[in-house]
A and B are shown apart, each in its own frame.
Chain A
Amino acid sequence: MKLITAVIRPFKLEAVREALTEAGVSGLTVTEVKGYGRQKGHTELYRGAEYVVDLLPKIKIETVVSDRQLETALEAIQQAARTDKVGDGKIFVCAIEQVLRIRTGEIGDDAL
């Protein structure tokens, strides 16, 4: 099993969610985050005061998939979140040792 963490543009959330559903991914956790990467921030001007805002708002989605679903899921997120401009975000993948569904006690792929 793999944990996919993707940081994407906020307005792409709906597209990514739909794409993941089509790819058979059944659950998702979404967090509003701020951060920076290659995309530069912007300046804000309040009367005489100018402030550089370099932490930009992004959406972080997290989902755990089975090993055989991984490629399809990554492909789905990348295609849906992409605008071809700097600031589209990143996807991180790491291994997950165990998953347990609290209600039934199922473990492993069955719990996904």
Chain B
Amino acid sequence: MSGAQVKTAALGKRPLPFLLALAGVIAALLLAQSSHAQTPAMPMPNKGDTAWMMMSTALVLLMSVPALGLFYGGLVRTKNMLSVLMQVFVVFSLITVLWCVYGYSVAFTQGNAFFGGFSRLFLNGTFNPADGSFALAGTFSKGTPLYELVFVAFQATFAAITCCLILGSIVERVKFSAVLIFVVIWFTFSYLPIAHMVWYFAGPDAYTDASKSDAVNATAGYLWRMGALDFAGGTVVHINAGVAGLIGAFLLGKRIGYGREALKPHSLTMTMIGASLVWFGWFGFNAGSALEANGSAALAFLNTYLATACAVLAWTSAEWILKGKPSMLGAASGAVAGLVAITPAAGNVGIPGAFAIGALAGLICLWGVTGLKRLIKADDSLDVFGVHALGGISGALLTGIFNAPSLGGPGSVQDWVTMTMGYPGIAAQLFIQAKAVGITIVWTAVVALIAYKIADLLVGLRVTEEEEREGLDISSHGESAYDY
């Protein structure tokens, strides 16, 4: 605009030919620039969004190593502490590498309804060194892209922590090599397709006019098309991992001494530190899943904070009333239960939803690790099923209910061309959620079963009885956690 004023002033004074010529050149340049600006330019990622998403990615790394490691590690006996930390550390690294080799491509590029393609193998095409340009990925708003590399990193941490969650069911007896073989197979054939089914769609900018919407929808993942709501991974992360963990607990069998000896947590102090850091990191996990630093992220942030506090109070109160004493382990477990349950709901429900989901998750998961655990009769050592699968199922179903605008929820985008929000009704959305939960449970159970069997055939799932009695720290890793 200021350019136009300069041009007028220069011409109005009728100055020397030299100045006239100069002004003409400037005017021409300015005109060229303004006409260029009128053509729709490629929007660039917002710096605030970029900073927030890189920070969120680092937060999810923190909630895995060290937080999940400490949370789990404190719950095992001293002789197995390092084996838990090592399993978490190495599985996290292994999945991160596989993610960049083929995982991202299979989960987040266009393919069929269940698997993506191979166009992004080794992250091919995300950065072009020839012209220094970066590929962009869609978010949930039109014209608001994200650097694809940031999206790759953010989603890598999700895949990695999901594989680490499973470990809680099989610790204190599983062979380290069996863990690695199992997670590679399970990640490839369960995590990747479920992430693709639930989360892959072409992005809001692909929906340009109503006549093409069905064609664009047809490129999305199976559960996305169905209308399943999963903000940050109730199905993809928690149900997926929780069920795989339970299958592992069944196949490995109980730890030596289970039900006869005291297999007590060796440091609830570390478990508390771990749970607290998990809570902290979960802000990146849930609020980061908005993919932008916007209102949806703000809602997810507050819900993550509030639901967790509700779950701590619910678990603690119920334990106090039913068992006589409110325990630190109960409070820490309540926090994780609340976090798990609010995950699919985070940006999909309003404040009433956060209160309800948090409180219910605390009570349901307390039953999951007591009453339900006795019914199941498996040594799910650190209650991955009771907390993550059960919390994930509760959260996924309750998301369908509390997404309702009448219950304070935001609804969901019904038309990506006009970005119109809507809600199909409680019964309809709940039914969609239930189908997504059911499909996830069956899919991960089958893949997990096969993956454990393959690991068993190749190296055997369990360490020897002698190694188990000595402790995995010495027998598997040749070191001990504490020097007394």
Contact = CB atoms under 8 A, between A and B. Distances in A.
- Do A and B make up one complex? yes
Contacts of A45: 323, 325, 327
A99 B126 CA distance: 82
A11 interface: no
A51 B330 CA distance: 16
A45 to B, nearest CB: 6
Contact of A46 (B265, B374, B386): B265
A32 interface: no
A51 B327 contact: no
Given A51-B262, A51-B264, A46 B370 contact: no
B433 interface: no
Contacts of A47: 329-330, 333, 369-370, 373, 383, 386
A53 B369 CA distance: 21
Contacts of B386: 47
Interface string B231-260: 000000000000000000000000000000
A49 B373 CA distance: 10
Contacts, number: 27
Interface in A20-59: 44-49, 51, 53
Interface residues of B, number: 17
Contacts of B210: none
> Which of B262, B263, B333, B371 has most A Cβ within 10 Å?
B262
A88 B422 CA distance: 70
A48 B264 contact: no
A44 B323 CA distance: 11
Interface residues on A, range: under 10
Nearest to B366: A47
Interface string B141-166: 00000000000000000000000000
A46 B264 contact: yes
A46 B329 contact: yes
A47 B373 CA distance: 10
Max chain B CB contacts within 10 Å: which of A45, A46, A47, A49?
A47
A51 B329 CA distance: 15
B57 to A, nearest CB: 32
A62 B373 CA distance: 48
Interface in A82-97: none
Contacts of B265: 46
Contacts of A44: 262, 264
B261 to A, nearest CB: 9
Interface string B64-88: 0000000000000000000000000
Contacts of B325: 45
Interface in B317-361: 323, 325, 327, 329-330, 333
27 contacts: A44-B262, A44-B264, A45-B323, A45-B325, A45-B327, A46-B264, A46-B265, A46-B327, A46-B329, A47-B329, A47-B330, A47-B333, A47-B369, A47-B370, A47-B373, A47-B383, A47-B386, A48-B369, A48-B370, A48-B371, A48-B373, A48-B374, A48-B383, A49-B263, A51-B262, A51-B264, A53-B262
Given A47-B330, A48-B369, A53-B262, 6 more contacts: A44-B262, A44-B264, A46-B327, A47-B386, A48-B374, A51-B262
Interface of B: 262-265, 323, 325, 327, 329-330, 333, 369-371, 373-374, 383, 386
Question: Which 4 pairs between the two chains have the least Cβ-Cβ distance?
Answer: A51-B262, A48-B370, A47-B369, A48-B373
